[in-house]
């Protein structure tokens, strides 16, 4: 929920535009994020002129990209996994559709969307903006370095750490290994566990999503995803 609002606020405030095109993957994560993004865009008076839902694991997204730009959106919001992101931005660039000076692109998942593309075709991604998780907490980093002898590769590892700790706490609270009992107990332990990812607030909201995470704004420059103020 928070991420949908955060990307809408960034894209509207940064671009100053009111006609948007959307591109989200057709799975539970993509549809939930799309729903929140649409809700927050419309609440701020944005017109969604194209709304593309794409299937995963394809090797060609030209048709989807043509639909995305069919009604001349002024701004794009989209999210991908690394493989789909690589194909989509490469083809968009080759088709002349990826020009952020004319139509800015924003992604609520910069790291997962462009993990491959930023290494393979960094010039094509220059200037794309979006959100990344805050750096992991010191406790997690220290534990990881002591065990592995190096820094964590990505902040998403801290999310996995939090998930494991919270499941263990919930199982202990429920005094059970039954999945339903653990699920129900997560609602009881979420407000007193201080996490190591996305700012640490792990409280759940309706539907079982974590609604109070914090992310930082980012931009791709020189082949790197860096902080954007």
Residue 128 CA to residue 101 CA, distance in Å, equals 10
Q: Do 100 and 124 reside in the same domain of the chain?
A: yes
pLDDT in tens, the chain (229 residues): 678 999 999 999 999 999 999 999 999 889 989 999 999 999 999 999 999 999 999 999 999 999 999 999 999 999 999 999 999 999 999 999 999 999 999 999 998 899 899 999 999 999 999 998 777 777 888 889 999 999 887 767 888 899 999 999 999 999 999 999 999 999 999 988 888 887 888 888 776 767 777 789 999 999 999 999 8
Beta strands in the chain (DSSP E): 19-25, 47-54, 75-78, 105-107, 129-133, 204-205, 209-210, 215-221, 224-227
State whether 122 and 176 are in the same domain. no
Q: Mean pLDDT score of the chain, rounded to an integer?
A: 92
For the chain, helix (H) and strand (E) counts, in that order, are 10, 9
- If asked whether residues 100 and 152 sit together in one domain, one would say no
Q: Which residues contact 87 (CB under 8 A, 6 or more apart)?
A: 58, 59, 60, 61
Cβ–Cβ under 8 Å, residues 13 and 20: no
- Give the pair of three-digit tokens for residue 33: 């994020």
Q: CATH number of the domain at 103, please.
A: 3.40.50.2300
Please indicate, yes or no, whether residues 57 and 81 belong to a single structural domain of this protein.
Answer: yes
Q: Is residue 156 part of a domain?
A: yes
- pTM, 2 dp: 0.81
If asked whether residues 18 and 82 sit together in one domain, one would say: yes
14 and 45 inside one domain: yes
Neighbouring-strand partners of residue 54: 25
> What is the tens place of the pLDDT at every residue in 203-214?
887 767 677 777
Domain region containing 28: 2-133+215-224
Are 95 and 173 contained in the same domain? no
Domain assignment present for residue 210? The answer is: no
**Is residue 125, in this structure, part of any structural domain at all?**
yes
pLDDT of residue 135: 75
What local confidence, expressed as pLDDT, does residue 136 receive? 73
């Amino acid at each position: 929920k928070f991420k949908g609002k955060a990307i809408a606020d960034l894209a509207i405030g940064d671009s100053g535009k009111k006609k948007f095109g959307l591109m989200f993957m057709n799975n539970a994560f993509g549809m939930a994020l799309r729903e929140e993004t649409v809700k927050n865009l419309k609440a701020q008076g944005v017109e969604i002129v194209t709304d593309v839902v794409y299937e995963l694991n394809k090797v060609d997204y030209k048709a989807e990209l043509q639909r995305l730009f069919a009604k001349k959106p002024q701004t794009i919001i989209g999210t991908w996994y690394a493989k789909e992101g690589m194909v989509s931005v490469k083809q968009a660039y080759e088709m002349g559709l990826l020009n952020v000076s004319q139509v800015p692109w924003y992604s609520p998942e910069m790291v997962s969307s462009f993990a491959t593309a930023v290494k393979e075709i960094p010039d094509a991604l220059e200037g794309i903006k979006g959100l990344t998780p805050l750096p992991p907490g010191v406790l997690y980093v220290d534990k990881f370095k002591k065990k592995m002898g190096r820094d964590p590769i990505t902040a998403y590892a801290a999310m996995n750490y939090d998930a494991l700790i919270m499941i263990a706490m919930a199982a202990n609270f429920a005094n059970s290994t039954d999945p339903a009992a653990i699920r129900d107990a997560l609602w009881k332990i979420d407000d007193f566990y201080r996490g190591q990812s996305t700012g640490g607030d792990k409280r759940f909201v309706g539907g079982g999503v974590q609604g109070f995470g914090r992310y930082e704004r980012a931009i791709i420059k020189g082949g790197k995803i860096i902080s954007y103020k």
